[in-house]
Amino acid sequence: MYDFISNSLMFSFDKYFQSKTTIKAEADWGYKYFFSPYVFEEIVPVMDTTAQMGYRGRGKGSGSGYTPYAYHTVTQTQGQGIQVFSLSGWIAQGLGNKIGLRISGMNQWVVSGQNPFFFIEEYYIVENPSYDRFSWEGYQIGSQLTFILPWNIQLILGYTTSTKEFPGIESLDLEGNPLGITRMDKKNQVEVRAEKKFPRFSVFASYYYAQNTSNDSYFEWDGHFFSVGFEWNIPLGAKK
């Protein structure tokens, strides 16, 4: 029922300057088409030729006949597509040999189409609908500081804020009743990450705090997240 096909086209531009400044710009277009996201029914009147009836009066005159109509339900499926376009970029600046600063931004628009589901319940059946790039429009702004500490430990401090609107999706109260307004979320996130790289692997530890506010009470949340791990660096091909 939720089969779809999606296409995307991206243009990227990168430039590095001798002043230790790097800029990057991207333009991204995407299109997603659901073949038959929902089914709707239409009641169509059809002439019933088998039930033609007539009558005659008792006198010399004759009565008029009539042809009744039967009403049939016709089930149809309808596909729908949605098209989005985004512009994003960042600028990074080295502040000496041990510190780097990066500022990024992104804005996305829904060019055509809308949420393809007929009922709000169908939208929430899809896995992680809020993180599907085709379900929202809005902007995101972020900043990041990177420090090179002793023993070549990399420390990253980041902050991101975003505002997203979900066209075609109504906000609900806690009892599931529509509020008549389009859902809109605002999210703020702070991240701290430390990483140490070795020739064959790297280890890291990270923490981030996120707060999401929304005009849909179901999406009002905040949380603290911790993670530790390691990554293997597997070389492919001959070493020069």
Mean model confidence pLDDT for the chain: 83
**Mean pLDDT within 129-153:** 90
pLDDT in tens, 176-224: 888 989 999 999 999 999 999 988 899 999 999 999 999 998 889 999 9
State residue 133 phi and psi, 5-degree precision.
Answer: -60, -20
- Which domain covers residue 137, as residue numbers? 4-37+80-232
Q: Give the number of C-alpha atoms closer than 13 A to the C-alpha of residue 234, restricted to the C-beta side.
A: 1
Average pLDDT of the segment spanning 63-86: 66
What number is the average pLDDT over the span 13-41?
A: 85
**pLDDT digits 0-9 by tens, 80-93:** 788 999 999 999 99
Indicate the number of domains in the chain.
1
Band of pLDDT at residue 55, cut at 50, 70 and 90: very low
User: 162: domain CATH number?
Assistant: 2.40.170.20
Considering the domain boundaries, does residue 162 fall inside one? yes
Quick one: average pLDDT of 37-52?
58
The verdict on residue 159 lying in a domain is yes
Residue 239 falls inside a structural domain: no
Say what the pLDDT of residue 134 is: 87
The pTM is what? 0.74
